[in-house]
Amino acid sequence: MDQLDHQLDIIRSLEEKQASGMTCYMLACKYIARLGMTEVEAYQKMGIKRQRWSDFRTKDKLPHNDLLRLCLVLQLDINLTYYLMAFAKDTLYIYEITDAIVKECIRQKIYEPAEVNHMFTQRGLEGLFKDDGIKE
């Protein structure tokens, strides 16, 4: 299967799941359960407050950097990251340095917040995850 066929399969899958009522939040919960985590553990590891997670549950929307952290916390590969981001009507941007570093972390299977932050600080940037666990 070539890349175009693969992308078309992903689009069809997205359309089917969205038509069935599946939301980005529901998909995230499936990935959380797959890891044996609770929602609380996931949003705490992401470094977001309970209210933001509650908003995600009800509005099915998270800010871009929160989605990036979610994909890392859930240890998604690059295909599942694009899939979850598409469900949220978002994407990884080609020319965005934060997104490029996150893609590199995923390719290298670097998922721990401290290690991800190290990838950012090596490039003179602020880490994606805040040390005290909450980054707004």
Backbone angles phi, psi at 10, to 5 degrees: -65, -45
The CA radius of gyration of the chain, in Å to the nearest whole number, is: 15
- DSSP annotation of 88 reads T
Q: What's the domain range around 7? A: 3-121
Residue 130 lies in a domain: no
Segment 92-130, tens digit of pLDDT: 998 999 999 999 999 999 999 999 999 999 999 999 998
Residue 132 lies in a domain: no
Query: How far apart are alpha carbons 5 and 58 in whole angstroms?
Result: 34
Segment 30-56, tens digit of pLDDT: 999 999 999 999 999 999 999 999 999
Query: How far apart are alpha carbons 33 and 27 in whole angstroms?
Result: 10
Residue 71 lies in a domain: yes
Number of domains observed in the structure of the chain: 1
Residue 134 lies in a domain: no
User: 73: buried, middle or exposed (CB in 10 Å: 19+, 13-18, 0-12)?
Assistant: buried
